[in-house]
Amino acid sequence: MRDPAALRHPAMDDLLSFPAQVQRWLDVEAALARACAAAGLVEAAQAEAVARACHVDLIDLHALDEAAATAATPVIPLLRQLTAAVPREARAAVHFGATSQDILDTALVLFLRDGLRVLVEELLGAGDRCAELAQDHRGTVMAGRTLLQPAVPVTFGLKAARWLAALARQLERLYGLGFHVQLGGAAGTLAAYGERGLEVTMRLAEELDLDVPALPWHAERDLLQEIAATLALVAGTCATMGHELVLLAQAEVGEVTDAGAGGSSAMPHKRNPVDATFAVAAGRSAAAAAAAVLTGDLHEHERSAGAWQAEWATVPRLVESTVVAAARARRALEGCRVDGARMRANLEEAGDQLAAEPLAVALVADLGREEAHALVAELAARAAATGAGLLDLAGETPAVSAVLTGEQLERLRDPRAHLGVTDALIDRALDRWHRVAVG
């Protein structure tokens, strides 16, 4: 059973369909035949006859699916049908020198490359929206929160810039990944090709526009796991953005709203942040699939029994979940409506407790760090207990008034005075994004 529609992506539906999967296997078989012909191992006419037969429309998919259930790999029943579709004089060029894992691994790499192209498009869209939010809201002051509690003033533009910087890092990781062909033959020696094994590998990689590994990687899955780990990081970034948007959209907070919010089956008043919620859900699904790939690295001897086969389900799930997390995060960001007035109101409701850090910093030069922090902590506790303003209490405290004038204390009430180098940080994120996105 496929995942529900909420956790699927149209482009991934196409890539994950059984006909698309079989066509990728056939694409590898066609490329292998041509590579063998280019290396002089089979006739060019034989290779082209094989290539002409490598079309999914010539395959009985129902019969293949049934036969695959009782075969060691689905390539075995596929080859029976493919061989039957090839003229007798060309059949020697079918699957020449390869093993089933060569075909399945290389086809998996083709799927990964196509899936990651979809992912990059979604991330670029999400990043462009983050850049817009960072620029438009660089001066929209809000309460920064640590451990879910009001801490010090920040801006929504800085929050969006943080998301943007994370997306830029993820794109750089994705751009740096390699997609490696797999060809080793029965046990990784390429023995069936004689002295031309490396040449066939290179020509196969050229046919499919893939990278050439130093050696076959049947039982060494780090190349695949590097992609899996990167996808887990990408999904985590997308889920984090969704999670923050869910928190900001809470009725008690109300600092953002979701233009695409959905209702409830039981509560007509509800406006649920649907896209952000599913970004979180897809991110969790991706993390589980990535864990399965990353912990399945014990592949025995030249080829594994069980560990490799487990990847057939987990890797596609990982790619699809990551793409969905990115797509849902993008939609949540595009539908995000920022309520700057509510942000300011929440900031003011927190009172001047948020001025505790700048007050302590202002006192450090005269009182020393420990004494300044202890004094402000005592004043903050009294303010919380009595409901008085922190800065009002500070002004009545001789140790403070001896150091700071009333005018200086009043300036501490303005949250815009305590934003540090926020503008410079936002500019750095925007600059890096434009360099990465264009590259």
Rounded to the nearest integer, the mean pLDDT of the chain is 92
For domain 122-180+217-348, the question of CATH label 1.20.200.10 is answered with yes
- Judged against a pLDDT cut of 70, whether residue 425 lies above it is answered with yes
Contact between 248 and 256 under an 8 Å Cβ cutoff? The reply is: yes
- The residues pairing with 153 across neighbouring beta strands, listed in sequence order, are 143
Q: Specify the pLDDT at position 439.
A: 66
Selecting among 17, 117, 264, 382, the annotated active-site residue is 264
Q: pLDDT at position 261, please?
A: 54
Say whether 152 sits in a helix, a strand or coil: strand
The domain ranges of the chain are 1-98+193-216, 122-180+217-348, 350-404
**Residue 353: how many other CB atoms lie within 10 Å:** 18
Cβ neighbour number for residue 13 with a 10 Å cutoff:
13
CATH no., domain 1-98+193-216? 1.10.275.10
User: Is pLDDT of 282 > 70?
Assistant: yes
Residue 303 bears catalytic tag: yes
In this structure, of 95-99, 215-219, 266-270, 355-359, the range with the lowest mean pLDDT score is 266-270
Residue 269: is its pLDDT beyond 50? no
Which of 129, 196, 221, 303 does the annotation list as catalytic? 303
- pLDDT given at position 395: 83
Q: Is 382 a catalytic residue?
A: no
| pLDDT given at position 410 | 86
CA atoms within 13 A on the CB side of 415: 24
Strand stretches in 89-231, DSSP E = 141-146, 149-155
From 327, 316, 324, select the one nearest 290 (Cα to Cα): 316
